[in-house]
Amino acid sequence: GIGTLVQLYASRYFGAEREGLHRLASLLLVFTASMLGLVTAANLLLLFVCWELTSISSYLLIGWTDKDPKARASALQALLTTGLGGIAMLGGFVLIGQAAGTYELTALAARPPSGTVVTVGLLLVLLGAFTKSAQFPFSAWLPGAMVAPTPVSAFLHSATMVKAGVYLIARFAPIFADQAGWRPIVVTVGLATMLTGGWHALHQYDLKRILAYGTVSQLGFLVVLFGIGEPEATTAGVIVLLAHALFKAGLFLVVGVIDHQAHTRDIRRLGRYGPGWAGPMVIAIVCGASMAGIPPLLGFLGKEAAYSSLVGSDLTGGRLVLAGLVAGSVLTFAYTARLLFGAFRPGVVTEGLAAAEDAIDPPAAPAIGFWAPAAVLGALTVLFGLVPGLVSGLVEAASHALDPSAEAEHLALWHGVNAALVLSGATILLGVAVTLAGPRVARLQRRLPSSMAGERGYLGAIRGLNLVADRTTGVVQSGSLPVYIGVILLTAVVVPGAALLGTPVGEVPPLVTGPGDWAAAGLMIVGAIAAVVVRHRMAAVLCFGAVGYGMALVFVLQGAPDLALTQVCVDTIGAVIFVLVLRHLPAWFADRPTALVRTGRVVVSVAVGVFVFAFIVIAGGARVDPTISTEFIARAYEEGGGRNVVNVVLVDIRGFDTMGEITVLAVASMGVYALARLSRRESRSDRSFSPSRRGVGR
């Protein structure tokens, strides 16, 4: 529902001439489908796939204005943070699924697994949930994501995607809340997030950043409620989840209207409005009041339900958790006041920093259709608060789906004078006091670090990663082709060679069948040695070709003229290509390797030769099934219409493979030829502009 309203809102937010709107609309639809898949998936692996799709689509949406370096950096930060958490979560899913013997959520709920492996898996799952829902200390990416257009912020970063981690905790808590470490970790992280997010929202001057840090704080609130894993707390979490989606999306849309019309979100410049702004102002006040927990709005019902779930709970440390929620709610009231006064009466909260000359002129009144989607969200916030029975069934169904032991609870605005109502009143009074003490709070905040620890940690991690990458690249990417080839060959020898060591050697086939074999072997050995000894490039190519022709001679002696013909064609074409390319290079090899380098090359070469020989001997004796070549021979003439089995295999049986190989060789040949031409041209250019030719330095 909110996605539909955001799409309608975006049609007014962006002008028809804005470039790339079709891409934005498509990405929003992809994200919507991914999020629907995430919350309806009954299998952990399917849930992970949809989880990653939301991360990727969020990355593309945050970086939609891809010419803005801030947008690109923020998109990358969001992707790295949530993506790494998603990988950890996948590891947790695998551990839990393997321990339980199933990846179905319903089966896990019916027979919860336990043990050390499951505990480790749960920690990894929580890491993924914390990064996705911007929990402390991974909160920094969410305020950075506010560079995205307001429709994206309203949909992804307030109403939907950031709640994916909350949703995952809500699904897992009724199953695993009694596992060792679950409640202490989840509740501690949630409270820390709620308090730090609210504290940082109090010194922001950008309306969207106030909302962003407020979203971080509210996400911590939700994590605490769902993470407790008790039926009453789960029901309260569902109410707060619904209320938050309505009031926070509505506030984002109103802030977008202000930004679009006034071209600024800085509360030090806002405050002057003409006629036609009453509608957005009323919507902002209603949604803000719901966020602050003021009756008779839906946000008040959620906050009172949260207090009630902990007042009578026997949870260990329940009073401390309740005190943390009250403190976080006081901060929520205070930053809500900062948001509303900052948008419409900024002199109250800017601590005298606003300069009259910086204030903007009254912006043009927005069209009714522009702020109508926000009005729908605000109206629902009021309606569901006054008549909570309208959503009682929805809340009950959601609570029961998360925790079957959750009892049906009919929502009501008035439950009489009880502890929860007293705490709600105390929250409002303390929130007013913090708001009135704004200048003192501002002075205190200026003495303390202003940025979140997660931001510094992220930047430090990126710098460290780049440093390690530079050092590692300098070592392993030396630019030496012989080193690269040596590493590849050694890997090809060591990895399968380790498996060969434990394989018994079967019957060794005869190595020589006649005197001709000795002649062919001698030709190949002499040609191979000569190819690495001679200093002339063309001579090395000819010696290299002699090795191939010696192999063709072996095929002839073994009665395989088709193979011999193929070998001759391949070596001839290879020699021609070498000649075409090497004629652009110097005639002689210029490098003179040291004795150490020559020794290393000899060792690698001998290791490869010994391994290939041993592999052929052992593989030939270890065969347990008939070779597939007999099937090729049987079908070559009947299905391929040819007596040359090799040609039939290359052209018919694996024709697409052959075409791919030809394409690769052709592209590689053209690339090598182009590089050789370029190298020769640069060499000529250097000679033509040398000082001796220009008469310089004589």
Is the overall model pTM greater than 0.85, yes or no?
no
Q: SS3 of 230, please? A: coil
Cα 550 from Cα 556, distance rounded (Å): 10
- Residue 506: per-residue pLDDT: 66
Residues 6+ apart with CB under 8 A from 212: 142, 143, 145, 146, 153, 157
The mean pLDDT of 661-674, rounded to a whole number, is 85
**Which of 182-191, 437-446, 520-529, 663-672 has the weakest average pLDDT?**
437-446
> Would you say 229 and 177 are in contact if contact means Cβ atoms under 8 Å apart?
yes
Neighbouring-strand partners of residue 104: 43
Cα 287 from Cα 301, distance rounded (Å): 14
The mean pLDDT of 15-27, rounded to a whole number, is 79
Q: How confident is the model at residue 33 (pLDDT cuts 50, 70, 90)?
A: very high
φ/ψ of residue 429, rounded to 5: -65, -45
- DSSP assignment of 677-698 equals HHHHHHHHHHHHTSHHHHT---
Cα 131 from Cα 166, distance rounded (Å): 11
Q: Give the tens place of pLDDT for each residue, 378-391.
A: 999 999 999 998 99
Cα 635 from Cα 469, distance rounded (Å): 53
Q: Give the tens place of pLDDT for each residue, 189-241.
A: 999 999 999 998 888 888 999 999 999 999 999 999 999 988 899 999 999 99
**Which of 447-451, 619-623, 647-651 has the weakest average pLDDT?**
447-451
CA 258 distance to own-chain centroid: 32
> Would you say 287 and 383 are in contact if contact means Cβ atoms under 8 Å apart?
no
Q: Give the tens place of pLDDT for each residue, 111-167.
A: 888 889 999 999 999 999 999 998 988 888 888 888 888 888 888 877 788 899 999
- DSSP assignment of 501-517 equals TTSPP-PPPPS-SSHHH
Model confidence at 583: pLDDT above 60: yes
Structure token pair of residue 205: 């001057």
* CA terminus-to-terminus distance, the chain: 82
Q: How confident is the model at residue 698 (pLDDT cuts 50, 70, 90)?
A: very low
Whole-Å CA distances, 106 to 128, 178, 395, 403: 21, 18, 20, 11
Model confidence at 620: pLDDT above 80: no
**Which of 497-501, 565-569, 629-633, 679-683 has the weakest average pLDDT?**
679-683
> Would you say 130 and 84 are in contact if contact means Cβ atoms under 8 Å apart?
no
Q: What is the four-CA torsion angle of 403, 407, 410, 415, rounded to 10 degrees? A: -110
Q: Give the tens place of pLDDT for each residue, 494-516.
A: 888 887 777 776 666 777 788 88
* CA dihedral over 16, 22, 24, 26, signed as positive or negative: positive
Burial track 436-450 (b if 16+ CB lie within 10 A, e otherwise): eebeebbeeeeeeee
